[in-house]
């Protein structure tokens, strides 16, 4: 049986998924990760920066605040518009471009730094995405990545969701970007330095987290919409159990979610 993924069909479905809800409502919660990745790559004023699968622009805004010349890209126009409005509100000069992470519309060696925070990891063709990030980067340039790990909270959530909506056959898990072993496969010949970091979700309760992600976060928004009433109740209960088991906040919800912060230097 041929299990080669249909990347075109997968991306079309993904685009619809990420356009549902409003990712910017939850994306802004993790702004600190964009700030951290700019520090990790030791960003310099005036450098040419490409933010791949930028979503609503967390890393793009962080880089622009450090006076870099930033191009922010995503394949979901609605998310680019959210980033554009944020840049305008903050008075930041950022270029925005509709782009597929697997086929970036830029010349070779166009950028000093390439960033992606919880973005490139979701592109279905991982090898093509990594090659494109290297291609557009000058020799000696840096790639900065933030990727959820398989064992962290979001990684566990991915596994839970897969019980209700199995991924297409042959498709690699996005959480593999959160492992240094996989990154060494994707970026051969590069210097790779990784550090496990934590992002902490802080909500009123587990119900508060689920209700927000059910309404605004594309993957959970679409999954809840696709299930019948019994399925909705079961999914809600499973996510609630996961959150409750990881909560260290007592009467409120405080859940740490591990991600891998990685700096890749292209020789």
Cβ neighbours of residue 267 closer than 8 Å, sequence gap 6 or more = 139, 140, 189, 190, 191
Domains and CATH numbers, the chain: 7-157+167-200+257-265 (3.40.50.150)
Arithmetic mean of pLDDT over the chain? 95
pLDDT in tens, 125-150: 999 999 999 999 999 999 999 999 99
Using the 8-state DSSP alphabet, how is residue 122 labeled?
G
The pLDDT assigned to 169 comes to: 82
The pLDDT assigned to 170 comes to: 82
pLDDT in tens, 224-234: 999 999 999 99
The torsion region of residue 170 among left (phi > 0), alpha (psi -120 to 50) and beta comes to left
The structure tokens 């909560």 sit at: 247
pLDDT in tens, 148-184: 999 999 999 999 999 999 988 888 999 999 999 999 9
Task: Please check whether residue 69 is in contact with residue 47, taking contact to mean a CB–CB distance below 8 angstroms.
Answer: yes
pLDDT for 108 beyond 50: yes
Element (H, E) at 71: strand 69-74
Inter-axis angle of helices 218-226 and 7-19, to 10 degrees? 100
Distances (CA, A) of 97 to 71, 75, 107, 195: 7, 9, 14, 30
Rounded-to-integer distance, Cα 91 and Cα 85, Å: 10
Q: What average pLDDT does range 46-68 have in this prediction?
A: 98
pLDDT for 1 beyond 50: no
Rounded-to-integer distance, Cα 235 and Cα 211, Å: 12
CA-nearest of 117, 116, 151 to 33 is 117
Rounded-to-integer distance, Cα 140 and Cα 134, Å: 11
| DSSP output for 200-223 | EEEES-HHHHHHHHHHH-HHHHHH
pLDDT in tens, 234-250: 999 999 999 999 999 99
pTM score of the predicted model: 0.94
């Amino acid at each position: 049986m041929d299990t080669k993924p249909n990347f075109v069909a997968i991306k079309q479905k993904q685009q619809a998924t990420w356009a549902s809800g409003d990712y910017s409502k939850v994306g802004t919660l993790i702004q600190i990760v964009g700030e951290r990745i700019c520090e990790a790559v030791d960003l310099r004023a005036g450098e040419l920066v490409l933010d791949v699968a930028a979503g609503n622009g967390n890393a793009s805004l962080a880089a622009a605040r450090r006076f870099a010349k930033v191009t922010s890209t995503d394949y979901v126009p609605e998310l680019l518009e959210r980033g554009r409005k944020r840049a305008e509100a903050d008075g930041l000069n950022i270029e925005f471009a509709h782009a597929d992470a697997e086929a970036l519309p830029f010349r070779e060696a166009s950028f000093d730094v390439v960033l992606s925070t919880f973005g490139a990891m979701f592109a279905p063709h991982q090898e093509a995405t990594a090659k494109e990030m290297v291609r557009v980067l000058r020799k000696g340039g840096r790639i900065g990545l933030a990727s959820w790990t398989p064992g962290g909270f979001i990684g566990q959530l991915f596994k839970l969701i897969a019980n209700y909506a199995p991924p297409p056959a042959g498709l690699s898990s996005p959480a593999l970007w959160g492992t240094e072993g996989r990154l060494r496969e994707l970026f051969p010949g590069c210097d790779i330095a990784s550090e496990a970091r934590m992002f902490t979700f802080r909500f009123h309760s587990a119900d508060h987290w689920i209700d927000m992600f059910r309404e605004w976060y594309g993957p959970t928004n679409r999954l809840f919409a696709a299930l019948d009433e019994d399925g909705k109740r079961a999914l809600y209960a499973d996510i609630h159990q996961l959150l409750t088991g990881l909560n260290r906040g007592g009467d409120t919800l405080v859940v740490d979610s591990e991600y891998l912060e990685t700096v890749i230097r292209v020789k």
